[in-house]
Amino acid sequence: MSTAQRPSADDPRILLDQEAGVFEPVPPYPPRTEREAEFYTLGDGQMFLNMGPQHPSTHGVLRVVLKIDGENVVDLDPVLGYLHRGVEKLAENADYHQVISQVDPLEYVSSLFNEWGAVLSFEKLLDVEVPRRAEYIRVLSAELNRIASHALFMGWMALDLGGLTPILWSFIERDEIVEMLASLTGQRMLFNYFRIGGVNGDLNHDFMSRLGNWMSRATEQIEASQGLLNENEIFVRRMRGLGPIDTKTALRMCFTGPNLRATGVPFDIRRAHPYSVYPELDFDIPTRVEGDCLARYLLRVDEVKQSLRIIDQCLHQMPDGPVMAKLPRLLRPRPGRAYSAVESPRGQYATYVVSDGTDQPFRMRIHDPSYIHLQSVGLLMQGNLIADTMAIMASLDPIMGGVDK
Amino acid sequence: MTVVARTWNRLTLPGKVIFTIVPLLIVLTAGLVITLVLVGPFLVDFIAANLAIARFVVAATVILLITVPTAFLIIYMEMKGIALMNLRIGPDRVGPYGSLLSVVHGLKVLMKEDFTPTGADPIVFTWAPVVVYLTSVMTLLVIPFAPDGLVAQNFNLGLLYFFAISGLSVVGLLMGGWASFNKYSLLGGIRSAAQVVSYEIPLVLSVVGVIMLAGTMDLTIIVQNQAGWFTDWYIWQQPLAVVIFFIAATAEANRTPFDLTEADSEIVAGFATEYSGMRFGFFFFAEYVNVFIISALTVTLFLGGWNAPVAWPEQWAIDLSLDPGSLGIGLLLVVLIAPLVLTLLFATPLWLISSRIKTWQALLGGFVLANLFIVGLVVGVGYIGFAWVAGLLWFMLKTYVLVFTFVWMRGTLPRVRIDQLMNFAWKWLMELAFLNIFVTAGAIILIEYLRRS
């Protein structure tokens, strides 16, 4: 259609042009870096495949541009930023209490760890002594949240490999935990429960009765849902040896958490740089040496069992007392800086906060493990098939809320 | 004019409807009767002259029509079955236990917008679902459902025809994948071509043993050869072939764990990504019709087809050559009185059993029980008296057990990878199928030799 035939430049009917509706993943601007120029040059028999941001299994709104040769992935380029909300900037314009609710939706399947990271750094700034009962409640609820997060991971892992049932089975566990935490904190997902100097409210009867009920059958239920996958020939054959990473590369790519422990390094913030009451608790750091998808998956199954041990000890050792330290309403820490890290279900979740003496943080930097792990997808995926792209990405367990912040 | 208008306006809405429809019906009926009277003799002569063609037209139409309720039933089975495996409730709103939900799904796809994307090839895009659906329906033509000619078209190369036509469905999938102008669709189409062509080979090779044993490709004769006890079924003589055939057939039908063509976590919906409305409905129906067909063919080849697992003893056979007309007016009396007598017969014990049951409740219960009794009697008499009723019952029972196996697999297994899929077909299934052929041939020659000497 020539320009003369068009009704007008801003007439919506020009969208009916032949070229309209054809989306090419190549960016409209000239390449900005050498890497971009190399990636967006097609070789013989290659084509681009745009996965996401609206795709059934990119775990949120991640966009991955795949350069494929038939079924083989030659190269790939993750495009981030579809869920960017500027949480770090928002935190600079909120006072210290409000920041806790701002960081909640970062890793939205394990919100308590986001709160814990922020709260821990603020407590370091303010030199607050947290009551021991509050510390135990924090450990208890956070470990429950870790189990819920890992349950979701196992279900998604199977769903990305085409299994329909495991996700619904693990959602039964997750739903029970989330309901339990809702009776404790008031919310199912974004709890906003931890406070500077304690937690918002003591354990209640509803929570305790649900927890006791669940704990009595948790081990058997988790074993049952894992039996469907761990003993499945197709699942194990697809996962074994897929996306392997060795210890050296993992350390170089700043891996932490289960992804690092799956390569054989027993690094866990709860033991390496202890915080809260973890030194008083008895639990193991499970490790595996293979470093492939199956190892990453099985390691999380082991971690769930350790979390159950921790919960059991918390319930037995929990002291009486207040759950909140005595603090003024308006918090004005002295000028300075504080850093704290917690072991989230994905790895090291760290918060670095700078105070200028006012009631708002001057700067808050959030180190999110999902973002760090997502850097290595290009490394892990080259030479694999399209079907494995999703499996490898799922095995790293990124949460896009945390990646894009 | 005013009289007519006034009379018309005084009518209620139902009256208006009746006054419009009844004359129309009368005119149409009269026209039909006159046409039949005028054309009837010629029509009867024409049908009598071309009886085979007329039978084929009727049979093909019936087959085409029964695929729709079959697909509805299997879709409902899958929704409910997978829901129960997932510890969900599943459909429970429309109809008893949600059993009409698949019908509602069918209506939904009929009413949705039929969308053709920009850049698609409209002609190929439109015809792809038709090709896929029609190949599914055409393969059903040679499946013998029951003895006494309950097969749409019986001919001596039935099995060959089946494989020839079922191989055509890949053309439809490729057409859909290519014409959609979408990379996911293209990948799905290419995958389906690779997969179906690869698995066609072990599928065909695995039934060679059965063809050698039966000495024919006529499916009706293959089933007749398996008559008797369940030990006469070919599954015992061809155990390896059953396994190969079932796996290859699962891949042929693009079902879990071989559903790579529509792997939703990888390539969205494969070749069906850009389809909507009834065109998608055709793809969707064809998938479930394929499940039925493959179960039916497995039953036909290996599980005795319409034969009951236990042979009905000859001395128990009942001669039902009863002519209802010989009862005369007595037939009318039996038809009128039997329900009443039966209702009272079943109501009396209910009425006596407890004082809590009121008289009307007892009568209602008696009526329901009497109806069940009559239905049971009719089915029982049909089962004993007519071979095709028994055959159809056994055939459907066996087929739906296999259909449930497909649903079960879908609820349990993850998907295999494309290279594993290809390795499995070319490195394992094909070699095993050849082994099966050689062992079967050797056994046949050996038995012949021993019999002669």
Output the domain CATH number for residue A167. 1.10.645.10
Please give the sequence-ordered ranges of beta strands (E in DSSP) within A267-344, or none if there are none. 336-344
Q: Do B257 and A388 touch (CB under 8 A)?
A: no
What is the C-alpha separation between A182 and B20, in angstroms, rounded?
Answer: 63
Q: Which residue has the tokens 């390539």?
A: B267
The proportion of chain A whose per-residue pLDDT surpasses 70, expressed as a percent, equals: 94
**How many CB atoms lie under 10 A from the CB of residue A372?**
22
Q: For residue A21, is pLDDT > 70?
A: no
Per-residue model confidence as pLDDT tens digits over B48-95: 888 888 888 888 888 888 888 889 999 999 999 999 888 888 888 887
Residues of B with CB under 8 A from a CB of A: 82, 85-88, 117-119, 181, 183-184, 187, 191, 256-257, 259-260, 263-268, 410-420
Cross-chain CB nearest to A162 (options B87, B118, B265)? B265
Instruction: Tell me how close the Cα of A273 comes to any Cα of chain B, in angstroms.
Output: 39
Partners of residue B413 in chain A, C-beta under 8 Å: 162-163, 232, 234
**Encoding tokens for residue B259?**
């559903």
> pLDDT tier at B318 (50, 70, 90 boundaries)?
low
Q: Do B86 and A168 touch (CB under 8 A)?
A: yes
> pLDDT tier at B317 (50, 70, 90 boundaries)?
low
Higher pLDDT, A228 or B14: B14
Per-residue model confidence as pLDDT tens digits over B194-236: 888 888 889 999 999 899 888 888 888 888 888 878 888 888 8
Query: Which of A1, A16, A154, A234 to probe the B interface (max B CBs under 10 A)?
Result: A234
What integer pLDDT is reported at residue B321 of this predicted model? Answer: 61
Lowest mean pLDDT among A22-26, A250-254, B155-159, B332-336: A22-26
Domain-embedded: residue A47 = no
Q: Which residue of A has its CA nearest to B119?
A: A18
Per-residue model confidence as pLDDT tens digits over A3-13: 445 555 555 55
> pLDDT tier at A121 (50, 70, 90 boundaries)?
very high
Domain spans of chain B, in order of start:
55-314+389-452, 321-385
Helix axis angle for B101-111 and B51-85, nearest 10°, is 110
Q: Do A390 and B266 touch (CB under 8 A)?
A: yes
What integer pLDDT is reported at residue A310 of this predicted model? Answer: 92
Model ipTM over 0.85: no
Q: Find the Cα–Cα–Cα–Cα dihedral B386, B390, B395, B397, rounded to 10°.
A: 150
Give CA separation, B238 vs B134, B211, B301, in Å.
31, 11, 10
What is the C-alpha separation between A402 and A47, in angstroms, rounded?
Answer: 31
> Which secondary-structure segment (H or E) carries A47?
strand A47-51
> pLDDT tier at B325 (50, 70, 90 boundaries)?
low
Q: Which residue of A has its CA nearest to B255?
A: A162
What is the C-alpha separation between B429 and B434, in angstroms, rounded?
Answer: 9
Q: For residue B27, is pLDDT > 90?
A: yes
Q: Do B266 and A22 touch (CB under 8 A)?
A: no
Instruction: Tell me how close the Cα of A217 comes to any Cα of chain B, in angstroms.
Output: 17
- When the pLDDT of each residue in chain A is averaged and rounded to a whole number, the result is 86
**Encoding tokens for residue A315?**
């319930």
How do A347-355 and A72-79 pair as beta strands? Answer: unpaired
**How many CB atoms lie under 10 A from the CB of residue A107?**
27
What is the C-alpha separation between B99 and B122, in angstroms, rounded?
Answer: 36
Partners of residue A56 in chain B, C-beta under 8 Å: 264-265, 268
What integer pLDDT is reported at residue A1 of this predicted model? Answer: 43
Cross-chain CB nearest to A390 (options B191, B265, B411)? B265
Q: Which residue of B has its CA nearest to A235?
A: B414
What integer pLDDT is reported at residue A2 of this predicted model? Answer: 47
Into how many domains does chain A fold? Answer: 1
Cross-chain CB nearest to A57 (options B181, B265, B411)? B265
Q: Give the mean pLDDT of B332-348.
A: 81
Per-residue model confidence as pLDDT tens digits over A213-239: 898 888 888 777 777 778 888 888 888
Query: Which of A55, A68, A395 to probe the B interface (max B CBs under 10 A)?
Result: A55
Amino acid identity at A356: D
Q: Give the mean pLDDT of B362-371.
A: 87
Q: Do B82 and A237 touch (CB under 8 A)?
A: no
Name the residue range of residue A282's domain: 87-404
Q: For residue B310, is pLDDT > 50?
A: yes
Angle at A300 between CA A294 and CA A302, to 5 degrees: 105
Residues of A with CB under 8 A from a CB of B: 16, 18, 20-22, 47, 49-50, 55-57, 71, 158-165, 168-169, 172, 228-229, 232, 234-235, 237-238, 385-390
Nearest Cα neighbor of A191 from A120, A269, A138 is A138
Q: Do A386 and B266 touch (CB under 8 A)?
A: yes
Q: What single string gives the DSSP state of each residue in A91-115?
A: HHTS-HHHHHHHHTTSSTTSHHHHH
Q: Do A159 and B265 touch (CB under 8 A)?
A: yes
Query: Which of B265, B268, B415 to probe the A interface (max A CBs under 10 A)?
Result: B265
Q: Do B266 and A165 touch (CB under 8 A)?
A: no
What is the C-alpha separation between B333 and A250, in angstroms, rounded?
Answer: 90
Peptide bond into B257 cis (omega under 30): yes
**Encoding tokens for residue B387?**
């071979």
**Encoding tokens for residue B451?**
């019999």
Lowest mean pLDDT among A88-97, B14-23, B141-150, B315-324: B315-324
Q: What single string gives the DSSP state of each residue in B375-418?
A: HHHHHHHHHHH-HHHHHHHHHHHHHHHHHHHHHHHHHH--PPPH
Q: Do B86 and A163 touch (CB under 8 A)?
A: no
Amino acid identity at B6: R
Q: Do A164 and B117 touch (CB under 8 A)?
A: no
Partners of residue B118 in chain A, C-beta under 8 Å: 16, 18, 20-22
Per-residue model confidence as pLDDT tens digits over B244-295: 999 998 888 888 888 887 777 777 778 888 888 888 888 888 889 999 999 9
- When the pLDDT of each residue in chain B is averaged and rounded to a whole number, the result is 85
How do A361-367 and A336-344 pair as beta strands? Answer: unpaired
How do A336-344 and A347-355 pair as beta strands? Answer: antiparallel
> pLDDT tier at A23 (50, 70, 90 boundaries)?
low
Lowest mean pLDDT among A21-30, B135-144, B167-176: A21-30
Partners of residue B420 in chain A, C-beta under 8 Å: 237-238
Cross-chain CB nearest to A172 (options B87, B181, B263)? B87
Per-residue model confidence as pLDDT tens digits over A366-399: 999 998 988 888 888 877 888 888 888 888 888 8
Q: Give the mean pLDDT of B380-395.
A: 80
Higher pLDDT, B175 or A31: B175
**Pairs of CB atoms within 8 A across A/B:** 91
Q: Is the pTM of this model over 0.90?
A: no
Q: For residue B424, is pLDDT > 50?
A: yes
The dihedrals phi and psi of A78, each to the nearest 5 degrees, come to -75, 135
Domain-embedded: residue A62 = no
**How many CB atoms lie under 10 A from the CB of residue B39?**
11
Q: Which residues make beta-bridge pairs with A354?
A: A337, A363
The region that residue B149 occupies, defined by phi over 0 for left and psi between -120 and 50 for alpha, beta otherwise, is: left
Per-residue model confidence as pLDDT tens digits over B114-156: 888 877 888 888 899 999 998 988 888 888 887 877 777 788 8
Per-residue model confidence as pLDDT tens digits over A134-166: 999 999 999 999 999 998 888 888 888 888 888
Partners of residue A235 in chain B, C-beta under 8 Å: 414
Partners of residue B187 in chain A, C-beta under 8 Å: 49, 71, 386
What integer pLDDT is reported at residue B120 of this predicted model? Answer: 81
Domain-embedded: residue A3 = no
Amino acid identity at B102: S
Instruction: Tell me how close the Cα of A246 comes to any Cα of chain B, in angstroms.
Output: 24
What is the C-alpha separation between B366 and B340, in angstroms, rounded?
Answer: 10
Lowest mean pLDDT among A244-253, A367-376, B16-25, B221-230: B221-230
Domain-embedded: residue A54 = no
Q: Do A238 and B267 touch (CB under 8 A)?
A: no
Q: Do B414 and A158 touch (CB under 8 A)?
A: yes
Peptide bond into B96 cis (omega under 30): no
Query: Which of A48, A72, A168 to probe the B interface (max B CBs under 10 A)?
Result: A168
Cross-chain CB nearest to B86 (options A164, A387, A390)? A164
| Residues A53, A373 contacting (CB under 8 angstroms) | no
What is the C-alpha separation between B293 and B289, in angstroms, rounded?
Answer: 6
What order do you get walking across the sheet with A347-355 strand by strand? A336-344, A347-355, A361-367
Q: Find the Cα–Cα–Cα–Cα dihedral A17, A18, A22, A28, rounded to 10°.
A: -70
Domain-embedded: residue A78 = no
Instruction: Tell me how close the Cα of B276 comes to any Cα of chain A, in angstroms.
Output: 17
What is the C-alpha separation between B36 and A393, in angstroms, rounded?
Answer: 70
Angle at B298 between CA B297 and CA B303, to 5 degrees: 120
